[in-house]
Structure 1
Amino acid sequence: MKNKVTSVLDKERTIAQPRFNRWLIPPAALAIHLSIGQVYAFSVFNLPMTKLIGITQSAPTDWNLPTLGWIFSSAIAFLGISAALFGKWVEKQGPRKAMFVATLCFSGGFFISAFGVYLHQIVLVYLGYGVLGGIGLGIGYISPVSTLIKWFPDRPGMATGMAIMGFGGGAIIGSPLAVALMEHFKSSTSVGVWQTFVAMGVIYFCLMMCGVFFVRIAPPTWQPPHYTPPTQPQKLVTTSNITADNAIKTPQFWLLWIVLCTNVTAGIGVLSQASPMI
């Protein structure tokens, strides 16, 4: 198994020769994060999905907002679960395979959800966008970050910032795109949601595959020109090395987790219903 993993990484490294331009890595990361960042704009679907049967207004058999709220909530939950469970797998397999799997899961989530909306089966939407799409979110979120840091050891803050910027900025693209597509597909018998899901699945698949194509692993001994690694660690940066399995046994990990959880929960709670609130 170890030799198989090594061969996978070596195949990606063979292309990452010194002549490779490392500035192609940030666009590859952005292609993934701008796509999966669409989750922050999912609330634009909430009101139209309450009128799938009634078209102009909600019918008794239409879904209500609390029911629809579980789609976004489950996607975010599986984002965190999959990122935690597949973190070590991503490091072993490399970013290309991880980003490809994320592409299949995220775009596949749209297609399954489109089928669920067409049949008016909310469980299929939960499984599609919530579970499968959420797994794509988690794997896609973590896969470009470590690769960026390895290519930019001289600018680690800028490298990770570009990736996270893409995830947060995904709503800037996803929101108007979804609204425009629903308007385009809307008719007297449909609000255009399932057609929009299909179209966005195709669009994001193509965009994310661009990231899969361009991403490379930095060679083990590679360093940026004129870069000298610091001899002393920065303030508050430990020299100790700890594995993920041991990290979860420390109080520091759980204290940081509590801080992040409370911070994220506040924002996510608003984002889940942002469009109807506005």
Structure 2
Amino acid sequence: MHGMLDAERIVAEPGYSRWLIPPAALAIHLSIGQVYAFSVFKRPLQAHFGTSLTAIAWVFSIAIVMLGLSAAFLGTWVERNGPRKAMFTSACCWASGFVIGSIGIATRQLWLLYLGYGVVGGIGLGVGYISPVSTLIKWFPDRPGLATGMAIMGFGGGALIASPLSVRLMQAFDPAVAASPTAIASGAAVMKTFLVLGVAYFGVMMFGVLNVRLPPGTRVAHPRDKQGNSLAKYTPLQTGVNISAANAIRTPQFWMLWVVLFCNVTAGIGILEQAAPMIQDFFRAPSSPTTAGGGAPASSVSAAVAGGFVGLLSMCNMAGRFIWSSTSDLVGRKRIYILYLGLGMVLYALLASVGAHSTALFATLAGVILSFYGGGFATIPAYLKDLFGTFQVGAIHGRLLTAWSCAGVAGPLIVNAIIEGRGKPGALTAQDYQPALFVMVGILAVGFVANLFVRPVHGRYYEGTEPAPVSAPVRFKKVGP
């Protein structure tokens, strides 16, 4: 098994179709994208452990933090050992996270759920997130936005599969849940669901492990004409050379992109994390009849419609990852981020000022904002490839994902702190959300300015104009100063 996972064993033969690689990458990202569906377990786990929702929410938060940390610290290892070994490691960690978590549920040991799904599963998230992306960039140097969009679209869409699947499994394991839509699944049902998901995702991810390949050499991935000239197109920002991860983090360009990603993600999570209650509160008129519970004005948007709105945002998030990242191949990475951040500021301001005029307008504005959120995730690997080359782009991407970890904490904290200062949940109106939305406008403005400062990388950081010859396909020798 160890030999089969070595990078030397997965170098493709000349003529191997690069279009066979995206399905392998998609298998990984669709599986680890389940993390976005963790919310379906929150109420059953809260009831089972007899604790607060905040304590259960820490499981998700730990997993996202570990995603960023493992991507940052293991990125160089991923590049050195190749995608198959990295994807296999991801599959083992992700599946083990479910198994360890299920033991924690069965024994009512919440710390085991933190350790399993949060820490071990989170490591699988980080390694699994960057390894397919790095490989696709090497296969598609001419269209990196399209390539990364295909894979990262799967991460955004993983919840669309995982959420209904998890619900159906809990219904199958707990007849009371199947009989009543308001019933909460038992701990035994959640435990069994975790086990089934762990086994199922391991199988799907192994499809990706067994089918991933490295390009045959360092030049074959570049489309060439009959005379052997490269057909890859370079924009003014593209260096066409290679820069190591150690050197990349010493450049101002890396930190400008860190700020860009942090701001784009923070603003997107501002809507995503509050989606269902936000649309209900926006259409909660203070003068409307009160709810049956008494006191709080009723919303014209039902809980079912709010749930549908969350599904719509998930689809916009997923579609944006593919559409906008593919568009960046045509217009350039810097220009597409000007769109994400510049138009995003306008849309946030409109959402705050006129979003309450109609539910259709609110949903449209929020949907486009979330498409920019997804597009930002999918475009950033191509942006890194343009600036730093393909030499250690996976490791560089991993380090940059620490911006995601920080934004995943900062975004909800900012929005929740502002909203909680305006009143109690269930009694807020559109005006109460305006300060938080305008704060997001300011955050996007910071990212917009940072993107404008991105320039080509200075030559002193270059490793060389071309990667070294590939005897071991992912181990390159430093040929420059």
Task: Tell me the TM-score normalised to structure 1 length.
Answer: 0.86
Query: 1:149-195, CA deviations, whole angstroms, 9 ceiling, x for partnerless residues?
Result: 22222322111110111111111111111111111111569351111
- State the partner residue of 1:27: 23
Query: 1:213-260, CA deviations, whole angstroms, 9 ceiling, x for partnerless residues?
Result: 111111113246655525873132235643211222233322321231
* Deviation of the 1:66 alpha carbon: 0.5
- State the partner residue of 1:145: 133
- State the partner residue of 1:250: 251
Q: Aligned pair in 2 of structure 1 residues 74, 172: CA closer, same or farther (>3 Å)?
A: same
User: Quick check: 1:43–1:272 contact (8 Å CA) kept in 2?
Assistant: no
The match for 2:78 among 69, 77, 90 is 90
- State the partner residue of 1:233: 234
Unaligned runs of 5+ in 2: 177-184, 279-306, 308-481
User: Quick check: 2:222–2:231 contact (8 Å CA) kept in 1?
Assistant: no
Q: Does 1:196 align with 2:193?
A: yes
Q: Aligned pair in 2 of structure 1 residues 231, 195: CA closer, same or farther (>3 Å)?
A: closer
- State the partner residue of 1:160: 148
Q: Aligned pair in 2 of structure 1 residues 165, 134: CA closer, same or farther (>3 Å)?
A: same
- Within 5 A, what are the aligned runs for 1:206-221? 206-220=203-217, 221=219
- Within 5 A, what are the aligned runs for 1:175-186? 175-186=163-174
- State the partner residue of 2:220: 222
CA distance in 2, matches of 1:124, 1:264: 29
- Within 5 A, what are the aligned runs for 1:41-80? 41-52=37-48, 62-80=50-68
User: Quick check: 1:73–1:272 contact (8 Å CA) kept in 2?
Assistant: no
- Other structure's SS at 2:230 match: coil
Q: Aligned pair in 2 of structure 1 residues 241, 255: CA closer, same or farther (>3 Å)?
A: same
Q: Which amino acid in structure 1 is aligned with residue 7 of structure 2?
A: L
Q: Which amino acid in structure 2 is aligned with residue 171 of structure 1?
A: A
Q: Aligned pair in 2 of structure 1 residues 223, 256: CA closer, same or farther (>3 Å)?
A: closer
CA distance in 1, matches of 2:195, 2:31: 14
CA distance in 2, matches of 1:125, 1:274: 26
Higher mean displacement: 35-44 or 149-158 = 149-158
CA distance in 2, matches of 1:195, 1:42: 15
Unaligned runs of 5+ in 1: 53-60
Q: Does 1:9 align with 2:17?
A: no
* Deviation of the 1:147 alpha carbon: 1.2
Q: Which amino acid in structure 2 is aligned with residue 177 of structure 1?
A: L
- Other structure's SS at 1:234 match: coil
Task: Tell me the TM-score normalised to structure 2 length.
Answer: 0.51
- Within 5 A, what are the aligned runs for 1:254-265? 254-265=255-266
- Other structure's SS at 1:173 match: helix
CA distance in 1, matches of 2:253, 2:14: 39
Q: Aligned pair in 2 of structure 1 residues 239, 225: CA closer, same or farther (>3 Å)?
A: closer
Q: Which amino acid in structure 2 is aligned with residue 144 of structure 1?
A: P
- State the partner residue of 1:172: 160
Structure showing greater relative contact order (alpha-carbon pairs closer than 8 Å, 6 or more residues apart): 1
- Other structure's SS at 1:46 match: helix
How many residue pairs match? The answer is 264
Query: 1:57-79, CA deviations, whole angstroms, 9 ceiling, x for partnerless residues?
Result: xxxx6121100111111100000
User: Quick check: 1:75–1:130 contact (8 Å CA) kept in 2?
Assistant: yes
CA distance in 1, matches of 2:102, 2:273: 19
Query: 1:124-149, CA deviations, whole angstroms, 9 ceiling, x for partnerless residues?
Result: 01110110000000000001112112
CA distance in 2, matches of 1:201, 1:160: 25
User: Quick check: 1:75–1:134 contact (8 Å CA) kept in 2?
Assistant: yes
CA distance in 2, matches of 1:201, 1:275: 28
User: Quick check: 2:7–2:81 contact (8 Å CA) kept in 1?
Assistant: yes
Q: Could you say what the CA RMSD is over the residues aligned between the two structures, in angstroms?
A: 2.6
Q: Which amino acid in structure 1 is aligned with residue 256 of structure 2?
A: L
- Within 5 A, what are the aligned runs for 1:100-111? 100-111=88-99
The match for 1:128 among 116, 119, 126 is 116
- Other structure's SS at 1:237 match: coil
User: Quick check: 1:43–1:273 contact (8 Å CA) kept in 2?
Assistant: no
Q: Which has the larger radius of gyration?
A: 2
Q: Aligned pair in 2 of structure 1 residues 264, 212: CA closer, same or farther (>3 Å)?
A: same
CA distance in 2, matches of 1:21, 1:233: 23
CA distance in 2, matches of 1:138, 1:223: 25
User: Quick check: 1:81–1:138 contact (8 Å CA) kept in 2?
Assistant: yes
- Other structure's SS at 2:216 match: coil
User: Quick check: 2:62–2:122 contact (8 Å CA) kept in 1?
Assistant: yes
- Other structure's SS at 1:242 match: coil
Q: Which amino acid in structure 1 is aligned with residue 9 of structure 2?
A: K
Q: Aligned pair in 2 of structure 1 residues 269, 79: CA closer, same or farther (>3 Å)?
A: farther
The match for 1:40 among 21, 24, 36 is 36
CA distance in 2, matches of 1:138, 1:155: 24
Higher mean displacement: 18-27 or 228-237 = 228-237
